[in-house]
Amino acid sequence: MVLPVAPQIESDMREERSRFMTFANFPTRNVLGLRLAQAGFFYTGCDEIVKCFCCHRYYSRWHTNDVIFRTGSFMHAADCAFMLGTDSSNVPMQDGPS
């Protein structure tokens, strides 16, 4: 069972930095929070469950024998605008001063 994420928190997840911050207490150590945040996911705070901010699909099937888990389209809904590159609400982290 997945507990719902508060709507105001979920709307903040459009920002990659906000998504990345949710992984501070993520229990799965073979998965990089930065990579998941860049892939559109945030940690729900429940078990090892992450959720896409755009398509709202949950993912939790981690391969514990992988050194670093691979992210990809298989984690998203087939029509996920973020995955398809048509979403305009994502706010990526800046690499440095502009």
Q: Does the pLDDT value for residue 14 go beyond 60?
A: yes
Close Cβ partners of 52 (under 8 Å, ≥ 6 residues apart): 40, 41, 59, 75, 76, 77, 80, 82, 83
pLDDT number for residue 92 = 93
pTM for this entry = 0.78
Percent of the chain with pLDDT over 90: 49
Q: Does the pLDDT value for residue 27 go beyond 60?
A: yes
- Structurally, what CATH architecture does the domain formed by 7-84 represent? Orthogonal Bundle (1.10)
Nearest by Cα to 39 from 21, 53, 26: 53
- CA-CA distance, 26 to 74, in Å (whole number)? 21
pLDDT number for residue 96 = 47
pLDDT in tens, 32-75: 888 899 999 999 988 889 999 999 999 987 765 554 566 778 88
